Structure 1
Amino acid sequence: MKISSISGVVYPVRELDKAIEFYQTLGFRLGKRDDHQVTVYVNWFWLTLTTDHDHVPAEGGPSLYLKVDDIDDYYGAVLAHGLTPSTEPRKDRSGRREFLLLDPDGNRLVFFTK
């Protein structure tokens, strides 16, 4: 089991334009945007700000995205270690494959591969 990199975080926001202004003021570079979300960058690290409640847990809070080389192998290794992911590997709206695993405190870890 090996994680390639910590790639980014998804934060739920109430007002997208206000959030964009805040993060740009801090020096984040503006990336791809649609009606419900925007991705901002510092170097290679990305932060997606979203008002799309389908991508935000009911209790709110961030999701940490962790890149792996092979999503199916990593999923199998997680299962072999006795852990229980919340989802099976599936395609997200951007086309990458991912699965969700909650840590013992309910924090969201999203493992993905492109």
Structure 2
Amino acid sequence: MVDHATPNLPSRDLDATVAFYDALGFEVGFHDPGWLVLQRGTLVLEFFPDPGMDPASSAASCCLRVDDLDGLYAVCAGAGIEETHLGWPRRHPPQVEDSGMRIAYVVDLDGNLLRLVQNPELED
């Protein structure tokens, strides 16, 4: 197995989290009342229950580095996540940032910020 890290994000309701991420192509790898693991290909997100959290004040975030940013962003749009700057869930379109990286943003139903980062193309 290749070394890897998985973000641990809060969820007010693990079943609602499953439904939200299912629409984005994530599948349940593990689920019990105290923990949830979701997978989409090589992407893995883990969630712990935090029923009293306030999405408006969440500081939880992670980067999902992907080969097809536009494809994943289209899945988010197709799942009905609104492109807006207010509320949650929401999405922000891909753009090249000052760092030179192309990034889109998704905020899930618990206020967790997902940075969708385009992997650099490998040169031959």
TM-score bin (small chain): 0.3 to 0.5
TM-score (norm 1): 0.45
- TM-score, normalization by structure 2: 0.42
